Structure 1
Amino acid sequence: MALTFYNTASRKKEPFSLLPGNDTVKMYCCGPTVYHYAHIGNLRTYIFEDTLCRTLEYYGYKLNHIVNITDVGHLTSDGDTGDDKMEKGAAREGKSVWEIAQYYTDAFMKDWHALNIEEPTRWTKATDHIQEQIDLVKTLEEKGYTYRTSDGIYFDSLKDKHYADFARLDVEHLQQGSRIDMGEKRAPTDFALWKFSPKDKKRLMEWDSPWGIGFPGWHIECSAMAMKYNGPTLDIHCGGTDHVRVHHTNEIAQSECATGKPFARFWMHGEFLRLDGNKMSKSSGEFLTVSVLMDKGYNPMDYRLFALTSHYRNYLNFSFESLDSAREALKSLHKKTDPLIGKATAIQSEEAKKWQQEFKDAIGDDLNMPRALGILNSILKTELSEGEKAALVADFDKVLGLKLDHPREEFVKKPDPNAVDDTAEIEALIGQRTEARKAKNWAESDRIRDLLKEKGVEIKDSKDGTSWKRV
């Protein structure tokens, strides 16, 4: 079976191969905005992208895989309004924006490695590529695709006749029914390429440019970095399904108008993880992190297996009951695979080769990981020799990434000997919140509650005062 992926651009499965003369898959994946912890819904997307990379390697491809770190320019609204998420994070925690970026980048990398996600070829930070972003905006300006307002340089989406194609947007009705605060924008679908710093205050992150002091829009960074390291046309561009209508549509528009070439041959998107039937999101305040799961005694591989039990293009509903099931399934799997560790021989029998081909066909059919897991469990029930079973387990785990070459270890998070006791800080914040409530300053009270929640502290108000516990 040919390697086949679902292409969001065409809305159908297509055989994948490289263009003639190319020997490496040019791939770009949208990475985290490092103003907060990545939740397990975000990380489901990175697990899907990891299985994609592993599948491509299983099929013999080399990769030039780029993942960005958004550490500037991502505004809280898709309508180019609100605060930069990085500055919002700095204000929330009373740290510099650079400290916030480094702290949450480190936290993200810790989760990335805990989930056994392979390293990309290159990590790229937006703040390390400001000049590339400025150069791309200049190219668009020279080609007549931009206009200037009092707050920035904008892309004129009405000049791109293909703007609506990727997301199948009804631009006419979007304009008629737009609830976006248009400001000086000419159309709801126009977007900021470069934003000017406010005249009445200095931003925490700003740079000089041909248009004045300011900072790049969110979308421009991905185009600039993707094309710097992989040229004008990518083989595969990935991200979450929430990127289709705005972020990836805007990437395509600015990239193709600048170069006159297709930006990506394949677009692949992971679907949402749902919590209680709703999309998990940071803005709701209700989200789970890998650290929270680990605190509850789960091994990160339990969550990885849970993610693999559903196809990446399907919604996945999270509950601790379903995660418990995945944990028990992984324990059961290890009972069968642990005794095989170190016993692998060559895969020689026709039956073993048949199973290997079935696995390859499953992963090659648009990353059908549920089917691939079924094949793994099936070979463990066969009469194959221990040596061939062991070899097949090791071979399959190159893609599944469940660490089946190591014995199962029950995970108990050990106390960090270097951790700082922040009890006094927590008590002080609770005291400040109590004073705010007495003064009926509910906004400040809510702000402190949210800050405590981000620190993993749950508070409860009663007639006897406020109690707290770590969760």
Structure 2
Amino acid sequence: KLKDGIYFNTGLFKDYGALGGIDKEDSETVSRIGKHEGKHNQQDFALWKFSTSKTKSGKELGWNSPWGVGFPGWHIECSAMSTQYLGKHFDIHTGGIDHIAIHHNNEIAQTETATGRKSVNYWVHNAFITIENKRIGKSKGNAIYLRHLIDKGFPPFAYRYLLLTGHYRSPMNFTWESLEGANSALIKLHKQFLDLGSRNGKINKSYQKRFEDFINDDIDTPKALALLHELMSDESINKKDKRVTVLDMNRVLGIGFIESYKQMKNILSGETKKVEVKETPEEIQELIDKREKAREDEDWKTADNLRIEIEKKGYDISDTEEGPKLTKNQIKSPVLIK
């Protein structure tokens, strides 16, 4: 117990730092807040922080506890959520590579001390994504959300496909050109899938085994995707068997073959052709103006709701460098792959 809270003594947890092979003596990697007076070990971390703030009426902020009014330590929330919803022991825990050294080692220590058992079988840590070779950050103003992709006419599945082309432990750089390439590759796959008809045969065991081997080899999605393309081009496999084998792979890849079967059929038949609007109806223009104002104010929730309202009226709006562009669907509902 220190003057500002209750701390975990990592010296009493013999496996502390085993995740990632962290050196206990290296304070640069094992302490989030740096040197702190009173710790037994530099990597000791807070389990409960005492309240240091009060309301205008003088009441301390926080929750009552056996140790006093305060707040849970930063790492507690993950242990609390995982044990609540996944149990005291579960198979896979994911996270960014930046959480290996401190956060996840702390989570392991506190969870396993509380439960008396191993908490996680496999830790899977992904590398960072940059945008146009720049780190993503709110302060940089370069964050891109799914709504931005949709506004530019890209289905969310195209972004998923793009991520699958790189290994999760390898850094990836996002560009609009790379997303365009992923979208084109995905549309090609969906066209090929549509040509396979609507009836299933038997899963090809050879392709299934090779696919499972790639996924079981540290989730090697680039090789798994390459195998999917190979299967699509393999003329020795009949259409029915090929179709069900693709669907079996899609259970892992999740790139929308089932969800978009009817949608792609409409797209390829031209039923979703869009018509450029030369004279915008007054009612729609009012919605567009409100949406533009919301976007200027960075009120994204309102902007999204207005876009949905415009779509319900049979129009699509996309944001271009020249401003919002309006198109009208020839069918009532837009049917992009999504």
Structure with greater contact order relative to length (CA < 8 Å, sep ≥ 6): 1
- The 5 A counterparts of 1:79-228 are 147-150=1-4, 152-174=5-27, 180=33, 182=35, 184=37, 186=39, 187-201=41-55, 206-228=62-84
Q: Which amino acid in 1 is paired with 2:16? A: Y
Kept in 1: contact 2:294–2:302 (CA 8 A): no
- Measured in 2, the distance between the counterparts of 1:362 and 1:251 equals 30
Other-structure match for 1:270: 126
> Structure 1's 198 and 361: CA in aligned 2 closer, same or farther, altered over 3 A?
same
Q: Which amino acid in 1 is paired with 2:148? A: V
- Measured in 2, the distance between the counterparts of 1:160 and 1:259 equals 13
- Measured in 1, the distance between the counterparts of 2:25 and 2:128 equals 28
Kept in 2: contact 1:240–1:269 (CA 8 A): yes
Other-structure match for 1:376: 228
- Measured in 2, the distance between the counterparts of 1:228 and 1:452 equals 34
> Structure 1's 157 and 420: CA in aligned 2 closer, same or farther, altered over 3 A?
farther
> Structure 1's 149 and 321: CA in aligned 2 closer, same or farther, altered over 3 A?
same
Q: Which has the larger radius of gyration?
A: 2
The answer to which of 215-224 and 156-165 deviates more is 156-165
- The 5 A counterparts of 1:27-426 are 147-150=1-4, 152-174=5-27, 180=33, 182=35, 184=37, 186=39, 187-201=41-55, 206-282=62-138, 284-347=140-203, 352-383=204-235, 384-405=237-258, 406-407=260-261, 408=264, 421=290
Q: Which amino acid in 1 is paired with 2:222? A: P
Kept in 2: contact 1:305–1:330 (CA 8 A): yes
- Measured in 1, the distance between the counterparts of 2:34 and 2:183 equals 47
Q: Which amino acid in 2 is paired with 1:200? A: K
Cα shift at 1:161: 3.7
CA RMSD of aligned residues (A): 3.7
Per-residue CA deviations over 1:21-74 (Å, capped at 9, x if unaligned) read xxxxxxxxxxxxxxxxxxxxxxxxxxxxxxxxxxxxxxxxxxxxxxxxxxxxxx
Q: Which amino acid in 2 is paired with 1:148? A: L
> Structure 1's 368 and 160: CA in aligned 2 closer, same or farther, altered over 3 A?
same
- Measured in 1, the distance between the counterparts of 2:32 and 2:293 equals 46
Structure 1 residues without counterparts, runs of 5 or longer: 1-146, 430-450, 457-468
Other-structure match for 2:281: none
Kept in 1: contact 2:126–2:168 (CA 8 A): yes
For 1:154, what is the secondary structure of its paired residue?
A: strand
Q: Percent identity at matched positions?
A: 38
Kept in 1: contact 2:20–2:100 (CA 8 A): yes
Cα shift at 1:366: 2.0
The answer to which of 283-292 and 394-403 deviates more is 283-292
> Structure 1's 180 and 213: CA in aligned 2 closer, same or farther, altered over 3 A?
closer
Per-residue CA deviations over 1:343-379 (Å, capped at 9, x if unaligned) read 22234xxxx3222222222222222211111111112
For 2:92, what is the secondary structure of its paired residue?
A: strand
Kept in 1: contact 2:231–2:242 (CA 8 A): yes
Q: Which amino acid in 2 is paired with 1:270? A: N
The answer to which of 358-367 and 180-189 deviates more is 180-189
Structure 2 residues without counterparts, runs of 5 or longer: 275-283, 304-322, 325-338
For 2:93, what is the secondary structure of its paired residue?
A: strand
> Structure 1's 292 and 205: CA in aligned 2 closer, same or farther, altered over 3 A?
farther
Normalised by the length of structure 2, the TM-score is 0.71
Cα shift at 1:177: 11
Kept in 1: contact 2:51–2:60 (CA 8 A): no
For 1:192, what is the secondary structure of its paired residue?
A: strand
Cα shift at 1:283: 5.3
- The 5 A counterparts of 1:432-451 are none
Kept in 2: contact 1:180–1:188 (CA 8 A): no
